[in-house]
Amino acid sequence: MDIPFLRQPVDAQLDALTRELRAQLLAFNRELKRGKLTHLTYDKDAKTLIWHKPKGENQKVREQSFYEQLPYCDVADVFRFVNGQCHFLSALTPLQPRYAKKVANADSLMAVVIAQAMNHGNQVMARTSDIPYHVLETTYQQYLRQASLQAANDRISNAIAALPIFPHYSFDLDALYGAVDGQKFSIERPTVKARHSRKYFGRGKGVVAYTLLCNHVPLNGYLIGAHDFEAHHVFDIWYRNTSDVVPTAITGDMHSVNKANFAILHWFGPRFEPRFTNLEDQLQELYSADDPALYEKCLIRPVGQIDQQLIISEKPNIDQIVATLGLKEMTQGTLIRKLCTYTAPNPTRRAIFEFDKLIRSIYTLRYLRDPQLERNVHRSQNRVESYHQLRSTIAQVGGKKELTGRTDIGIEISNQCARLIANAIIYYNSAILSHLLTKCEASGNAKAVALITKISPAAWRHILLNGHYTFQSDKMIDLDALLAGLELG
């Protein structure tokens, strides 16, 4: 197994990490005393740290003016265009035996995916499209499965990553940022996974669609219960990503933070970089590798010392846990639940938590010292919020923000269909931006290139999501004709 944590002796790893923590802690206090950290102010009377967060640039007006110039296209035409580019519908293979299966009809596949994603259902789709009900029902039973829909999503994700515009979505040359977050959806019929939540579902029940997003592309996603702690799934959704795009830094909100995620993700390579909201709470989680008494003269002092000897003595048990996670024999959520059933003095659990304190303290100091890191994390989380708006719009085409299905499997299929629609829309917009980018770079229009690279592909105002659907058509979108006469300002 190619796992970074298993390559080096634990002593060498701890020496390097403790040196970095010591250097970060001293540099932070030195820069704070000298006033070099202009985004932070230390109140000597209250002995508190005040955080001045920068205001981000609003790109909504610019994006709105760009997409308003594009002609309206039916979602079926967008689906047909994307399938012509990356052939994702061929990943939807049937369940029939080898010599009995028929070649899937692309029109019926598009219709049944849209019916599930937009909460129409097959009966409503049969009344509002040119595909009869019995064809929709047969196609749904034969072709829509979690594995096949995941493969179709991966094809679109990989195709987006191959477009010229994709590298320009990155805002850090040294890291590929992925963001994780959950989105609440109500359900019509109760299932095993559905739970009550009066805040989000009123008197009904619902689930959470947990998503990994990278450069506007939803790489992976699945449903969890509304009662599940999102932090238990951060590692799983990254490690079980089957696309070719692998984020090297994972961002999240405070729901993604627990006492082990910094350690687990560090073991496997990616950096865990959550968005902190309360500065004082994070300073209470700041530890040092040395005796805290050595930092008495510092403005910001660690609250405790990390037990390095415990980590060294428990290295064999930690290696077993790392190997189990690496072989996918256990999910992260199961691991955390098992650890939390131990008694408080359990040495293995304490060692993992001590290692987590070490990684978290280093990240906290980097986060406080570097305003650009804070902006990158903030932008990464804003992208997943934009994706949630797109998903919400797709779900509400059929009326409510809910997922259809009679069972947990049916609801998961509806969720994957909605992710497939969102992926197709993002590919369509990225193809438009890539087409314009190539033309502007060839003509040397640097101003237009700068504008294009700042536009988000998570937009839908130029796509007709509702109405009467015409699938049996040979109409294909021509980007040259579509973008003729477009002004970039």
- Same structural domain for residues 433 and 337? no
116 closest CA partner among 143, 147, 93, 140: 140
- Same structural domain for residues 134 and 195? no
For residue 120, pLDDT over 60 is answered with yes
Cα–Cα–Cα angle for 479, 482, 485, rounded to 5 degrees: 120
DSSP string, 410-441: HHHHHHHHHHHHHHHHHHHHHHHHHHHHHHHH
Percent of the chain having pLDDT more than 70? Answer: 97
Tell which of 379, 397, 416 closes a domain.
379
Alpha-carbon separation of residue 108 from 105, 139, 293, 346, 426 (angstroms): 6, 7, 70, 56, 22
For residue 189, pLDDT over 80 is answered with yes
| Amino acid type, 38 | T
- Same structural domain for residues 35 and 155? no
76 closest CA partner among 397, 386, 484: 397
- Same structural domain for residues 317 and 446? no
**448 inside domain:** yes
Higher pLDDT, 229 or 95: 229
- Same structural domain for residues 31 and 66? no
Q: Average pLDDT in the 220-248 region?
A: 94
Alpha-carbon span 214 to 166, nearest angstrom: 10
Alpha-carbon span 169 to 196, nearest angstrom: 38
Alpha-carbon separation of residue 429 from 162, 227, 435, 471 (angstroms): 14, 35, 10, 21
Place 184 in a pLDDT band, splitting at 50, 70 and 90: very high
For residue 100, pLDDT over 60 is answered with no
Contacts of 209 (CB under 8 A, 6+ apart): 182, 183, 185, 221, 222, 223, 391, 403, 415, 418
Q: What is the pLDDT of residue 425?
A: 97
**488 inside domain:** no
**132 inside domain:** yes
Min mean pLDDT across 86-100, 237-251, 358-372 is at 86-100
For residue 246, pLDDT over 90 is answered with yes
Place 14 in a pLDDT band, splitting at 50, 70 and 90: very high
Q: What is the pLDDT of residue 92?
A: 92
H or E element, residue 18:
helix 10-33
Q: What is the pLDDT of residue 58?
A: 66
Per-residue tokens: 143: 């072709």
112 closest CA partner among 103, 101, 123, 102: 123
**433 inside domain:** yes
Predicted model pTM: 0.93
Domain that holds residue 249: 4-52+167-379
CB distance 87 to 139 below 8 Å: no
Per-residue tokens: 80: 């047909």
Q: What is the largest CA-CA distance in the chain?
A: 81
What SS3 class is residue 164? Answer: coil
**343 inside domain:** yes
Alpha-carbon span 332 to 337, nearest angstrom: 9
Report the half-sphere exposure of 238 (CA within 13 A, side-chain side): 31
- Same structural domain for residues 352 and 265? yes
For residue 101, pLDDT over 60 is answered with no
Alpha-carbon span 194 to 185, nearest angstrom: 10
Buried b / exposed e over 244-261, threshold 16 CB at 10 Å, is ebebebbbbbeebbbbbb
Alpha-carbon span 155 to 5, nearest angstrom: 31
**489 inside domain:** no
For 143, other C-beta atoms within 10 Å of its C-beta total 24
CB distance 151 to 140 below 8 Å: no
Chain segment 307-335, per-residue pLDDT in tens:
999 999 999 999 999 999 999 888 888 88
**386 inside domain:** no
Contacts of 57 (CB under 8 A, 6+ apart): none
For residue 194, pLDDT over 90 is answered with no
405 closest CA partner among 218, 198, 193: 193
- Count of structural domains, the chain: 2
- Same structural domain for residues 236 and 286? yes
- Same structural domain for residues 246 and 331? yes
Tell which of 379, 413, 443 closes a domain.
379
- Same structural domain for residues 155 and 184? no
Q: Average pLDDT in the 6-29 region?
A: 94
- Same structural domain for residues 193 and 267? yes
CB distance 49 to 42 below 8 Å: yes
For residue 1, pLDDT over 70 is answered with no
Chain segment 35-71, per-residue pLDDT in tens:
899 888 888 888 788 888 777 666 677 788 889 989 9
Chain segment 412-453, per-residue pLDDT in tens:
999 999 999 999 999 999 999 999 999 999 988 899 999 999
- Same structural domain for residues 255 and 296? yes
DSSP string, 295-342: GTTSSS--SEE--HHHHHHTHHHHHHHHHHHHTTSS-HHHHHHHHHTS
Place 398 in a pLDDT band, splitting at 50, 70 and 90: confident
Per-residue tokens: 282: 């994070």
- Same structural domain for residues 329 and 202? yes
Q: What is the mean pLDDT of the chain?
A: 91
95 DSSP assignment: S
Chain segment 256-310, per-residue pLDDT in tens:
999 999 999 999 999 999 999 888 899 999 999 999 999 998 889 999 999 999 9
479 closest CA partner among 445, 426, 430, 444: 430
> Ramachandran region of residue 119, left (φ > 0), alpha (ψ -120 to 50) or beta?
left
Alpha-carbon separation of residue 466 from 215, 394, 461 (angstroms): 27, 10, 12
Q: What is the pLDDT of residue 46?
A: 81
**149 inside domain:** yes
Alpha-carbon span 285 to 283, nearest angstrom: 5
Per-residue tokens: 305: 């010392």
